[in-house]
Amino acid sequence: MRKVLLAFSFIWCLALAGVAQAQAPEAAAPPPAAAPAAAAPAAAPVPITDADIKGVASPKAEDRAQGDPAGTLTGTSADIPVGDAKVGMTVGDVVSLVGQHQIAINFVWTLVTGFLVMFMQAGFAIVETGLARAKNANHTMMMNFMVYGVGMLAYWLIGFSIQEGGVGAVANLGGTAPLNGEFAIHLFGKDWGLFGTKGIMLGGATYDVGVMVMFLFQMVFMDTALTIVTGTAAERWKYSAFIISSFIMGAFTYPLFGNWAWGGGWLATLGSNYGLGHGYADFAGSGVVHSIGGVTALAMAIIIGPRIGKFRRDGTPNAIPGHDIVLVLLGCFILAFGWFGFNPGSTLGASANGNLRISSVAVNTMLAGMAGSFSSMYYMWMRYGKPDASMTGNGFLAGLVAITAPSGFVNPMASVIIGLIAGVLCALSCEFVERKLKLDDVVGAISVHGTNGLFGVIAVGLFADGKSNYGGSWNGVPGSVTGLFYGDAGQLVAQLIGVATLLGFVFTMSFVLNAVLEAVWGHRVTAKVELAGLDIPEMGALGYPEFALKPEPVLAD
């Protein structure tokens, strides 16, 4: 079997090399043909007048009354709203409608992709529940269910204001001008934005259609970060402690880093202030969403400790398999579906400002997920002799996590490379976390979201190819985000500062807040409750009340 796999890997490498060769620029392209000596002068542009507009034919009312089975009479100049009926349709009416259509397209795009991201909660819920034991199914599911409501409440109360309260106008959404308050300190000769101040409970001037779109989209992202932690601490986390911890994370920990990266804070301005590329660039949140969730999960795993029975007295780990691998892989598919909202939706629009790149972002996303699942499956097959299903699913998610930050800045080849690395990195990290650190991460969230989130942030600084153009600038720096491999070492430094912030600041903040909660409230259920399963003691009902679960006899080969 290993020979077959080795042969397959050789073919895979050849294929990659072949594609890379095919994509390399031609070394000796022939010079372009000389331009015609006497090209015809371009005609001067003729402005459109109101008279031209009035001359546009509209379908007659009697024709419309007959119905429109071919669809040729519906959606014509007759449908354009007129500002003054006495004057009739003017150029101003048409131009205003074009502007509103652009914003409407962007609104619909951002909202619908936000709905897809919201659906990822369902994916996380069944992945985590499937990887937990049946005796904790209700408890694990309820944590994933209520993290949505708890996080949203915290984010509405204060979190959104901290994160986006100073972001200013977002061109794709027609301007979110009421979000114009950023608290900053003056350091090293520049302003360092720390947190936003507008938008508390969406009141005052932030009762605005553009702000509402922004809130919905950012809220579902925040909730994704929160639900990562529940996977690591499953099967032993006191439900009340989970509620408090998640509220704090949604209100403060996530929004603070979110502001620095996406709300106009100091990380975003590293480019404009200090010449480090385009500042910290995180297209859809490998760092903001996944690494925050991952490093907080790491802090929780240290504080709460492993499940009883996870490690033997000599420190070697026991495998505690989940109760339903079908749920796990189905959940991974749901997450991958939601990721088509997560990454392409992060353009915050589909019209104008280079937003047609949503197609490239979507393809990058699917390619990296595929590559991640493939490389992790392959690694496990080679190392342990079987293509482990749960690790294949985690590799799939790891590829998606790693491409989240670079998805808007890299080409398809880089996406596949990033995904391949992410899949193996996930498997190696899972082994390291369990065997070296002696930490119990029920779903592998530290590795999937933490390790690969950080890798995704770094990947921007390496693989960004300088071809994207979102309105001509990023983070206020003209031009395109370009990584080290394409000539900009400064971008990599900005990304590394983001990594240092996630490890040094976000981890510390998460650890301190949860350590205080441990001291005053306690995170962990009693040993008796843990051994019995958390469903009855914590939730009052079993996840599967009609099933008597007993071990199956193991049959010899």
Partner 1 sequence: MGFVGLIVTFVGFLLAASSVGIMSSTGGRMGLVLVGIVMSLVGILGIINPAYQKNAVWKK
**DSSP state at residue 524:** B
Query: CB under 8 A: which stretch of 148-156, 169-177, 219-227, 487-495 binds partner 1?
Result: 487-495
* Eight-class DSSP state of 351: S
In degrees, rounded to 5, the angle at the alpha carbon of residue 216 between the alpha carbons of residues 210 and 217 is 90
Distance of closest approach, residue 512 Cβ to partner 1, in angstroms: 7
| Among 150, 369, 170, CA closest to 247 | 150
The residue range among 172-180, 244-252, 495-503, 537-545 that interacts with partner 1, by the rule CB under 8 A, is: 495-503
Q: Is 185 in the site for partner 1 (CB under 8 A)?
A: no
When the beta carbons of 141 and 292 are compared against partner 1, the nearer one is 292
The minimum distance between CB 271 and partner 1, in angstroms, equals: 11
Handedness of CA 280, 283, 288, 294 (dihedral sign): negative
Residue 389 CA to residue 431 CA, distance in Å, equals 16
485 binds partner 1 (CB under 8 A): no
Nearer to partner 1, 293 or 306 (CB): 306
Phi-psi region of 315 (alpha: psi -120 to 50; beta: other; left: phi over 0): left
Largest CA distance in the chain: 91
- Which CB sits closer to partner 1, 345 or 490? 490
Kindly tell me which of 313 and 528 has the beta carbon lying closer to partner 1.
313
Distances (CA, A) of 352 to 43, 105, 205, 339, 449: 26, 10, 26, 22, 32
Token duo for residue 303 = 């504080």
Span interacting with partner 1, options 115-123, 238-246, 303-311, 549-557, rule CB under 8 A: 303-311
Q: How far is the CB of 538 from partner 1 (least distance, A)?
A: 19
CB 426 within 8 A of CB 452: yes
In Å, how far are 106, 114, 392 from 100, measured between CA atoms? 10, 20, 45
Residue 309 tokens read as 């029975």
Q: Which amino acid is it at 169?
A: A
Question: What backbone phi and psi angles, to 5 degrees, belong to 487?
Answer: 110, 0
Contact between 512 and partner 1 (CB under 8 A)? Answer: yes
Site string for partner 1, 220-259 (x = CB under 8 A): ----------------------------------------
Burial of 418 (0-12, 13-18, 19+ CB in 10 A): buried
Please tell me whether residue 526 binds partner 1 under the rule CB under 8 A. no
For residue 428, state whether it binds partner 1 (rule: CB under 8 A).
Answer: no
Give the separation between CA 224 and CA 539, rounded to whole angstroms. Answer: 23
313 forms part of the interface with partner 1 (CB under 8 A): yes
Pick from 293, 423, 490, 543 the residue near partner 1 by CB under 8 A. Answer: 490
Contact letters (x/-) for partner 1, 280-299, by CB under 8 A? Answer: ------------------x-
User: Which residue from 504, 526, 531, 541 is in contact with partner 1, where contact means CB under 8 A?
Assistant: 504
Of the candidate spans 217-225, 244-252, 308-316, 469-477, the one that interacts with partner 1 by CB under 8 A turns out to be 308-316
Q: Which of 222, 497, 513, 525 binds partner 1 (CB under 8 A)?
A: 497
Binding mask 314-343 for partner 1 (x = CB under 8 A): -x----------------------------
Rounded to a whole number of angstroms, the minimum distance from the CB of residue 465 to partner 1 is 19
525 binds partner 1, rule: CB under 8 A: no
Q: Which range binds partner 1 by CB under 8 A, 336-344, 412-420, 466-474, 509-517?
A: 509-517
The residue type of 54 is: K
Closest CB 482 distance from partner 1, rounded Å: 13
Pick the binder of partner 1 from 13, 15, 437, 532 (CB under 8 A).
437
Q: At its nearest, how many Å lie between partner 1 and the CB of residue 133?
A: 17
Angle, CA 13 vertex, CA 10 and CA 18 arms, to 5°: 125
Pick between residue 104 and residue 489 the one whose CB is nearest to partner 1: 489
∠ at Cα 511 (509, 512), nearest 5°? Answer: 65
Burial (CB < 10 A; 0-12, 13-18, 19+), residue 38, is exposed
Burial class (CB in 10 A: 0-12, 13-18, 19+), 313: exposed
- For 522, the 3-state DSSP assignment is coil
Per rule CB under 8 A, count of chain residues that contact partner 1: 39
How distant, in Å, are the alpha carbons of 161, 188, 404, 407 from that of 410? 31, 32, 11, 6
Position 507 contacts partner 1 (CB under 8 A): yes
> Which one of 105, 202, 244, 303 is in contact with partner 1 (CB under 8 A)?
303
Q: Which two tokens mark 160?
A: 């959104």
450 part of the interface to partner 1, by CB under 8 A: no
Binding partner 1 by CB under 8 A: which of 306, 406, 456, 483?
306
Query: Considering only 79-87, 193-201, 309-317, 361-369, which stretch makes contact with partner 1 by CB under 8 A?
Result: 309-317
- For 485, what's the count of Cα atoms within 13 Å in the CB-facing half-sphere? 12
Q: Please report, as residue ranges, which positions from 196 to 215 form the binding site for partner 1 (by CB under 8 A).
A: none
CA distance 201 to 211: 12
Nearer to partner 1, 118 or 229 (CB): 229
What number of other Cβ atoms are within 10 A of residue 25's Cβ? 5
Residues 6+ apart with CB under 8 A from 210: 170, 173, 174, 175, 176
Binding site for partner 1 (CB under 8 A): 187-189, 266, 270, 273-274, 276, 298, 302-303, 305-306, 308, 310-313, 315, 437-439, 489-490, 492-493, 496-497, 499-501, 503-505, 507-508, 511-512, 515
